[in-house]
Amino acid sequence: MESNKVFLLLVVCGMALLVVFLDIHLFTAESLTRPSALTPRIKEQRITQEERFATLFRVCRQLKKSHNKSTLLPPVNLRLDVLTRLYVSDRYSLVYCEVPKAGCTNWKRVLLTMAGNANLSRVLSQNDVHVIKNYTKLSQFDAAGQRSRLDGYTVMMFVREPMERIVSAYRDKFLHENEYYQLYGRTIMKHYRKNSTNVPLAKGDYVTFPELVRFILDPKRPLWQDVHWLPAHHLCQPCLLRYDFLGKVETVRHDAAALLARVRAPGSLAYTQTPSGRSTATVTDQYLAQLSPEMRQKIYEFYFEDYMLFGYPLPSEANLKPI
């Protein structure tokens, strides 16, 4: 009889403890999502994201490129090159769309660490970081696998002020020895430079910034456009694909921290910013000054949708009407 009483007492106590635990757990979960419980920085990040997506959705609709805020079936609506640009972390339920010259090397190091390859991330050179075998791409999954990840994971991209991005691409690819871009260099000089000598043509690494811009703007360009200077909206199709997080290089410190917190990455994991050699506004202005007013206007037009979609102010001299 006494044993039954003890058993009942233990059951009652256990149920009481369970109720208390659930009550505390639910309170904690609610406090994390209740606006009044958010820190000022988290509130600021939330407002920033809301403003960025409000601009994105509005401009998508005005450009009539659509945005119904829902993910469309990837194989039907997304280009294959976009699917191969979407990197997946199943461990942290994250999908990252790569925009070259917008911090992609550092984000790939983060992805390597997320996959348990922290040591590999530290030892790989900048070029080796981009080796495809180190990553999982969305294109590797069937339609159901793609859809479930786009619907259930945090889908994110980072962008950059368009002129700073193109100047960064020029400085990285044509002012440093790079065998692949020497092919571009030789072709660009052959088509856009008068009286070029055989020596620089053979080497292909003396391309000027105006020559690169002429190549980009030429509708009959002799080579395909490269991802390092193609507009970001072309690379990631933000008017068709539902993104959950839109970061910017200009605010990468706070944006990266917010993104990593959102996917519950370990506190030890951080985005390592490498500002040395970055194409700042001052450096960018020096390169833009090499272009004629007509060429500057045309290159602004080339990146017009990036300016509008991602909320970057148009240069004051640009003769373009904001949307």
Please give the full DSSP string across 62-107, using - where no structure is assigned.
Answer: HTTS---SS---HHHHS-HHHHTTEEEETTTTEEEE--TTSSHHHH
Residue 124 has pLDDT above 90, yes or no: no
What pLDDT, on a 0 to 100 scale, did the predictor assign at position 18? Answer: 38
Are 228 and 100 contacting, i.e. CB atoms less than 8 angstroms apart?
Answer: yes
Taking alpha carbons only, the member of 322, 309, 315 closest to residue 59 is 309
What pLDDT, on a 0 to 100 scale, did the predictor assign at position 29? Answer: 33
* Euclidean distance between CA atoms 16 and 128, whole angstroms: 57
Q: How many CB atoms lie within 10 A of CB 148?
A: 11
Residue 30 has pLDDT above 60, yes or no: no
| Per-range mean pLDDT, top range of 99-113, 171-185, 226-240 | 226-240
Angle (nearest 5°) at CA 39 between 161 and 265: 65
* Euclidean distance between CA atoms 217 and 41, whole angstroms: 41
Instruction: Name which residue leads in pLDDT, 94 or 130.
Output: 94
Are 230 and 160 contacting, i.e. CB atoms less than 8 angstroms apart?
Answer: no
What are the Cα distances from residue 247, in Å, to 63, 80, 94, 138? 22, 23, 14, 20
SS3 131: coil
Interval 51-64: pLDDT, tens: 999 999 999 999 98
Least confident residue range of 96-100, 126-130, 264-268: 126-130
- What number of CA atoms fall less than 13 Å from residue 155's CA on the CB side? 24
Instruction: List the domain boundaries for the chain.
Output: 40-161+230-262, 164-227+280-309
* Euclidean distance between CA atoms 10 and 182, whole angstroms: 78
pLDDT band per the 50, 70, 90 thresholds, residue 69: low
pTM: 0.83
Interval 130-151: pLDDT, tens: 777 778 999 999 999 999 999 9
What are the Cα distances from residue 192, in Å, to 31, 123, 184, 293, 301? 61, 40, 12, 18, 21
Are 214 and 295 contacting, i.e. CB atoms less than 8 angstroms apart?
Answer: yes
Angle (nearest 5°) at CA 92 between 105 and 69: 85
- Chain position carrying tokens 């659930």: 22
What are the Cα distances from residue 288, in Å, to 9, 194, 281? 80, 21, 10
Q: Tell me the average pLDDT of the chain.
A: 84
| Direct distance between the N- and C-terminal alpha carbons of the chain, in angstroms, rounded to an integer | 81
SS3 137: strand
What pLDDT, on a 0 to 100 scale, did the predictor assign at position 203? Answer: 75
What pLDDT, on a 0 to 100 scale, did the predictor assign at position 202? Answer: 75
